[in-house]
Amino acid sequence: MLTGKKAVITGASRGIGREIALRFAANGADVAVIYCGSREAAEELCGQIEALGRKASPYQCDVSDRESVKQTVGQIQSDFGGIDILVNNAGITIDRLVPQMKAEEFERVLNVNLKGAFHMIHQTYMLFARKRAGRIINISSVSGLTGSAGQANYSSAKAGLIGLTKSVARELARRNVTCNAIAPGLIDTAMTREMNEQAREQMKNTIPMKRMGKVEDVANLAVFLASDLSGYITGEVIRVDGGLCM
Give catalytic residue positions. 154
SS3 218: helix
CB 171 within 8 A of CB 118: no
Report the distance separating Cα 93 and Cα 106, nearest Å: 10
CB 42 within 8 A of CB 18: no
110 contacts: CB under 8 Å, gap ≥ 6? 153, 156, 157, 160
Residue 217's Cβ-side half-sphere holds a number of Cα atoms within 13 Å equal to 16
Backbone angles phi, psi at 44, to 5 degrees: -60, -45
Would you mind telling me the total number of residues written for the chain in this entry? 246
Q: What stretches of the chain adopt beta strand conformation (E)? A: 6-9, 30-35, 56-60, 85-88, 134-139, 177-184, 237-240
Task: State the amino acid at position 154 in one-letter form.
Answer: Y
Burial class (CB in 10 A: 0-12, 13-18, 19+), 203: middle
Report the distance separating Cα 242 and Cα 246, nearest Å: 9
